[in-house]
Amino acid sequence: MRSRWRKLAVVAVLGAAGGGINAWLCLARIPVPVHDDPDFNWLVVPGGAVHGAIMAIVPLTAALTLSGWRVGYQVLVAPVVGWIAGYVSWILLHHWVFDKGWSASLVWPLQIDGWLGVAWAPFPYFGAVSAIAYVSLTAGGLGRSRARTAALMTFAGVLGSFWWWLEFGPWYFAVIHGTIWGVLVGWGISGMNLMRQGNVAR
């Protein structure tokens, strides 16, 4: 059990590294500034690190916890996984990047009008990354090769962040940032060796 928690911690650290690197790239305006060139506070980097860690560990923990379920039932949980990951991972960035108070940041989805808005809010804020990552893991991403797992997590990182970067620009940041996060997280997950053949319901 301790070994499993250590391995989960490694994935969280790699997710944090991906999120922190991506935040630093925005802060340093590499390769180009985010559109409108916002004046990012340095706290965006630790905020991005926490963000990246949560986006990695929530779908992985959910996939491992529900691994005994049939895949069809597991996939039905994807919206819940994406909502939780998107909501929790954005709290610090909402506070530090958008300079909102803690009370507003802790309940930021509730600031969207209507219950449909609240239900949808975390997904464009990278919750879609975790939802897609979770589906990828439940559909065969656990216990696979490093190349395949890294490719699946990169796919989640790119596709899940595409709406955000299409909106805020430049759009190709989805490819750059999604690949950095996805390769690191995928590498960590594939090295866990937590799942044995036949343990996952197919």
pLDDT digits (tens, 9 = 90+) for 111-128: 888 899 999 999 999 999
User: Do the domain assignments include residue 201?
Assistant: no
Q: What is the mean pLDDT of residues 163-182?
A: 96
Cα–Cα distance between 63 and 183 in angstroms, integer?
18
Q: Domain total for the chain?
A: 1
Tens-digit pLDDT profile for residues 140-169: 767 668 888 999 999 999 999 999 999 999
Asked whether residue 200 carries a pLDDT value surpassing 50, the answer given is: no
* pLDDT score for 2: 66
Nearest to 185 by CA among 62, 93, 52: 52
Q: Which two tokens stand for residue 111?
A: 């600031």
DSSP3 helix / strand / coil % (the chain, rounded to 5) = 75, 0, 25
How far is the first Cα of the chain from the last one, in angstroms, to the nearest whole number? 24
User: Do the domain assignments include residue 199?
Assistant: no
Residues near 131 by beta carbon (within 8 Å), at least 6 away in sequence: 59, 78, 79, 81, 82, 85, 123, 160
Residues near 185 by beta carbon (within 8 Å), at least 6 away in sequence: 11, 14, 15, 18, 56, 133, 153, 157
Tens-digit pLDDT profile for residues 43-76: 999 999 999 999 999 999 999 999 889 989 999 9
User: Do the domain assignments include residue 137?
Assistant: yes
| Domain that includes residue 49, residue range | 2-190
Q: Dump the DSSP string for 168-195.
A: HS-TTHHHHHHHHHHHHHHHHHHT----
Q: Which two tokens stand for residue 41?
A: 């506070």
Cα–Cα distance between 3 and 11 in angstroms, integer?
13
User: Do the domain assignments include residue 100?
Assistant: yes
Asked whether residue 129 carries a pLDDT value surpassing 70, the answer given is: yes
* pLDDT score for 73: 94
Report the share of the chain in percent with pLDDT over 70.
92
Neighbour count for residue 70 (Cβ, 10 Å): 13
User: Do the domain assignments include residue 16?
Assistant: yes
Cα–Cα distance between 162 and 166 in angstroms, integer?
6
* pLDDT score for 59: 97
User: Do the domain assignments include residue 133?
Assistant: yes
* pLDDT score for 126: 97
Asked whether residue 191 carries a pLDDT value surpassing 80, the answer given is: no
Q: What is the dihedral of CA 92, 93, 99, 103, to 10 degrees?
A: -40
User: Do the domain assignments include residue 85?
Assistant: yes
User: Do the domain assignments include residue 195?
Assistant: no
